[in-house]
Amino acid sequence: MSICYIALGSNLEDPFAQANRAIAALHQLPQTTVTNISPFYRSKPLGPQDQNDYLNAVVKLNTTLSPTELLDQLQSIEKSQGRVRKNNRWGARTLDLDILLYDNLIINTDRLTVPHYHMQHREFVLYPLYDIAPDLTLPDKQKLSDLVNKCPKNGLKKWEE
């Protein structure tokens, strides 16, 4: 059984509803249990500023799915919630589900980079992760608490709905 942390992001078509639907879908995954959910945050867009604020959160899972199987499942949830994948690497999205951490694995394949690319510097990942895993250490031995202390909040606040 493995422990994973999933980052959730949305800035289109009712992010609060998207997040709740995504969490309901995570609860339905095979071989998987949702064991913790962070508070929801409102963050400033990273990338072009002419897009809505994001809802961001982190979900903790126990799973016996492999990293690739989990990725397949997350992409199918994204797709069922209207995610369109094309030329919008820095653009708005209805739902993003990213594998942040999978046990202490370091994965670098065409489809998957774990720990997630740039998570060490993103306030909208570090703060919700810290809420549910304050004692976490990353595979490269960095303490999450040190990363959080070095990371400006950049306007990050709790989501009000």
Question: Which residues are annotated as catalytic?
Answer: 83, 93, 96, 98
Q: H-type helices in 32-91, by residue range?
A: 67-80
**Should residue 90 be labelled a site residue for ligand ROI when binding is judged by CB under 6 A?**
yes
**Should residue 81 be labelled a site residue for ligand ROI when binding is judged by CB under 6 A?**
no
**Should residue 96 be labelled a site residue for ligand ROI when binding is judged by CB under 6 A?**
yes
Tokens 């995570």 -> residue:
26
Q: Smallest distance from the beta carbon of 141 to ligand ROI, in angstroms?
A: 26
**Should residue 124 be labelled a site residue for ligand ROI when binding is judged by CB under 6 A?**
yes
Is residue 8 exposed (0-12), middle (13-18) or buried (19+ Cβ within 10 Å)? buried
Q: At what angle do helices 67-80 and 15-27 cross, to 10 degrees?
A: 140
Q: Is the CB of 78 or the CB of 96 nearer to ligand ROI? A: 96
| Amino acid in the structure at residue 72 | D
**Should residue 127 be labelled a site residue for ligand ROI when binding is judged by CB under 6 A?**
no
Q: Is the CB of 20 or the CB of 137 nearer to ligand ROI? A: 20
Region 16-55 residues binding ligand ROI, contact defined as CB under 6 A: 43-47, 54
DSSP assigned state of 137? B
Position closest to ligand ROI via CB:
9
Q: Phi, psi (5° rounding) for residue 115?
A: -55, 155
DSSP assigned state of 111? S
Q: Interface with ligand ROI by CB under 6 A: which residues?
A: 9, 43-47, 54, 56, 90, 96, 124
